[in-house]
Structure 1
Amino acid sequence: MKASVGDRIVTASGVVGAAVREGVVVSVRNADGSPPYLVRWSDTGDETLVFPGPDTVVRHGDGGAQEGEAAGAATGTSAGHGVPARSTTWHVQLTLVESQGSTTAEATLVAGPAEHGDVGALRAVGHARKDPGDEEVPVIGDEVAAGRALRRLADALLGQAEQDISARTGNKAHVHP
């Protein structure tokens, strides 16, 4: 992996549910552009010394090639598989409305730009209703409604993937959840 000052570093988390981090290379320690790099993270502004692993992609400052770790580093491919490394960001917005012991959550996925198709925006709704005898604890209704909306959103996204695979292959597809 090679980087220059000004390149962007995108690192996927090794922990399920944790955020993807993105930062800018502010210093390269080796003249040949090899790691480690001093990176300023966009989410915190902190600068840390980074030794990138296989979960990291370098986006070069000119907006051109991207580079992955391992065998593909010299060619700008992902783990030597001949496929250019790629990084994209999708956003999920959750809107919660609580009224009279009932909570409604709307989860909306807005996918980033796609090269070969457009997921666009998917939307799903989840509901939660408090038992009349239970204490009013709004956060619990939020959790239940949001969980249901996100589960439905995940199902909708997998359904979209099945449709896209079927359209490309001409065969009915099934994606295991």
Structure 2
Amino acid sequence: MNAATLKPPGAHKGIGLSLGVFSDGLACTLPRCEEGERSLRLYNRAMGEHWGAEVGLLDTGRIGFEGGSARAQGISLSVVGRMPLSASLSAYGKVGTTYSHTSSMGLPGSGLQGGSATGFGMSFGAGLSWQFSPRLSAVVELDSHDFRFANGGRDPVRAASLGLQWRY
């Protein structure tokens, strides 16, 4: 413990913003889907030396495909494990749950079901964090969130992203 701050070594809190691309299993089983749309994730993470927790917001934007479109958003809560690889590079993994809200719209005559759905699903991810200043890190991450869609099932929404995390 550091007597001046009463925090264990490696402990920190941070807020992050990641931008990336996603892949949606439901929409892209349909002909001519537009896979690779943008994703946005804002999160707050509290870490000890090796373990922590994260709460995040995810927005995939509009998923367009032949016959309709969908939108997926969620709030995630995860347990995070971190392993330092060097003084400035760390690997981390996380597992938790995502509460999602999706809405979809099928064009008339397309045969696609429209509507909205909400519910909990599993989430997990892994990434690398490069600390290039005492307060700022760059992160690269792969995430998977099980979202509920109007078709009655859960489908994975996966994202690859780059971002920045600011520690406070």
What TM-score do you get using the length of structure 1 for normalisation?
A: 0.29
Which structure is larger by alpha-carbon Rg, 1 or 2? 1
Q: Which has the higher strand share?
A: 2
TM-score by length of 2: 0.30
